[in-house]
Amino acid sequence: MLTGSTALKEVFEFAPEWEQLLRNFDGGESPQASEFLSRVGARAIFHKALGLTDARDGFVRLLRDFYYQPLLSKMLASNSNLRRFLSQRRVSADEQRSQVISYSVDLSQKLEASLNKQLAAGQEDGFKVLLPAYIQRTVQNAVVDYIRHESAWERQTLQDLYLDSQQEDPRATVADDISYSPEHQALSGEQVVQLNQLRVHLTAMLADGGLPKEPLTVVDCLFGLGLTSWSVTGEELTMREVCDKLDIQAETMARRIARCQVLLDKGLDLVRQKIYNHLPGIAQSWQRGLNLNTASRRELTQQLGMTEGEIERLIKGRQIENLQLLPEKGIIKPARLKEIVQKGAVAVFVPVDINSATGRDIMDILGVAKETAQSLVAERPFGDLSELAGRNLVGKAELQEMIRRGAVLRTRFSDSRRLDLNRVSEEDITKLGVSQSMCLSLVRLRPFLTWAEAEDFLQPESADWAILRQKCFLGLSPG
């Protein structure tokens, strides 16, 4: 990769008149080419490319390497969906970085083709393919497609490889962040006493002919327990190293790692059941009172031992004001109440603020369909709950059900005092108390389609973000 000053020299060979813009940058060092081109703006870049003839191909390649690719790398590295997907599969940090670089190269080539198409058409609005918001949407779509493709492959090729027909697919119950799961903490050596107690039971499990050995061996290697000939005590291995050690076969490394992930999930499930059944002291230390009104399906299954039918009835009947209503509403049988209470179940009514709640909470606590929850998140903030029905986002009956289940609306500023973030001037943004650097980024990078898109790309400081969410709204972007 060329240095910032070297790349800028190439830029100025095509557009020498831009060199004077360097004076607008603070500090003595030359900015990165991507930062400089972002300041120039999509329209100016596009019209410069239109004006070039023989040199256009070289200019577009420069945009691919020094504008598109750095922005794509940054956006991919900060994409929460991609980070979560790779983390769940225990992909190492180095491997994640190399994958981000690979994806950014592929996407920059696709955007280069889109730009050439717009230049060939010569349309006035062709600059849109250079807008950061357009690039961000391209990243989001690419990540969704990638996750869907990989997940579909796992379902099609791994379903019958390691799973018993009567056993629940461990991928369905894997923790959102595996590093916080109780069994992971007990295995990681953070609690020495717990790990020593668990090692005795794991040794017996490995010797038990009735239990599958490969999942437990994967756990042994990944956590460096030293219980088999493939692992050394205290030496934790990466997923790739485990694939090599145990000779896990597949067509590509990515698929070998996916198979290793399935084995890990199954092994952790065996460990979890052993802890709950034979190490009650460790299990009790994890129980901090699980609120039935907000708990995830995985928490209800693993911590409280609730069946799938009980969970479905609970979620449908949320929110529950007290535990005695569980048998009264037919969610569980009366005999089950004592057992669930002993495992830490509590019932606390939780208001759900439509203007700030996550889409998952709106779905799981208020019982709203996925598509409706996404629409609510995209369209907020709201000034009054009646707006939800007035704008045809939910029906009147559905709104009443949401209110019964805890839907509320908290606002600090009336709609008349809110500013449209996609249209407001830089001066007015500054008056709100937002930092100067954030003001410049907003003006340069908008329009934004959703608050999630704005946050994902801008990576704002918490103080700036609080001001923007309280005092601004996202209107239709300028045409």
pLDDT in single tens digits along all 479 residues of the chain? 344 567 788 888 888 888 877 766 655 566 788 888 888 888 888 888 888 878 888 889 889 988 898 889 888 888 877 887 777 777 777 778 888 888 888 888 889 988 988 888 887 788 888 988 888 888 888 888 788 777 665 555 444 444 444 444 444 443 344 444 556 666 765 456 667 778 888 999 999 988 999 999 999 998 888 899 999 887 878 888 899 899 988 878 778 888 888 888 888 888 878 877 777 666 555 555 678 888 888 778 877 888 988 998 998 888 888 888 899 989 999 999 998 888 778 887 778 888 888 888 888 888 898 889 888 988 888 878 888 988 899 999 999 889 888 888 865 444 446 788 888 888 888 888 888 888 888 888 877 777 777 877 787 887 788 788 878 877 654 43
| Dihedrals phi, psi of 397, to nearest 5 degrees | -65, -40
- Angle (CA) 114-69-146 rounded to 5° is 75
Residue 472 three-state SS: strand
**pLDDT at site 206:** 92
Whether residue 63 is contained in a domain is answered as yes
**pLDDT at site 158:** 47
User: Which tokens belong to 394?
Assistant: 């939910």
Are both 57 and 91 inside the same structural domain? yes
Name the pTM for this structure: 0.37
3-state helix, strand, coil in the chain (%, to 5): 65, 5, 35
In angstroms, the Cα distances linking 221 to 231, 262, 444, 452 are 5, 15, 49, 38
Whether residue 164 is contained in a domain is answered as no
Which of 340, 356, 336 is CA-nearest to residue 299? Answer: 340
Q: What total of structural domains would you count in the chain?
A: 5
Are both 360 and 274 inside the same structural domain? no
Task: Determine the structural domain holding residue 251 and report its residue range.
Answer: 171-286
Q: How far apart are CA 206 and CA 213, in angstroms?
A: 6
Are both 17 and 152 inside the same structural domain? yes
**pLDDT at site 81:** 78
Which of 263, 270, 304, 286 is CA-nearest to residue 186? Answer: 286
Are both 273 and 314 inside the same structural domain? no
Are both 117 and 9 inside the same structural domain? yes
Rg, C-alpha atoms of the chain: 27
Are both 59 and 80 inside the same structural domain? yes
Are both 439 and 309 inside the same structural domain? no
**pLDDT at site 169:** 45
Q: How far apart are CA 155 and CA 145, in angstroms?
A: 15
Which of 226, 227, 223, 249 is CA-nearest to residue 237? Answer: 223
User: Which tokens belong to 410?
Assistant: 């908290």
Q: If you count them, how many residues does the chain have?
A: 479
Residue 450 three-state SS: coil
Whether residue 163 is contained in a domain is answered as no
Looking at residue 212, its amino acid is: P
Are both 133 and 46 inside the same structural domain? yes
Are both 376 and 303 inside the same structural domain? no
| Dihedrals phi, psi of 235, to nearest 5 degrees | -105, 95
Are both 42 and 72 inside the same structural domain? yes
Whether residue 165 is contained in a domain is answered as no
Are both 276 and 401 inside the same structural domain? no
Which of 341, 445, 440, 436 is CA-nearest to residue 130? Answer: 445
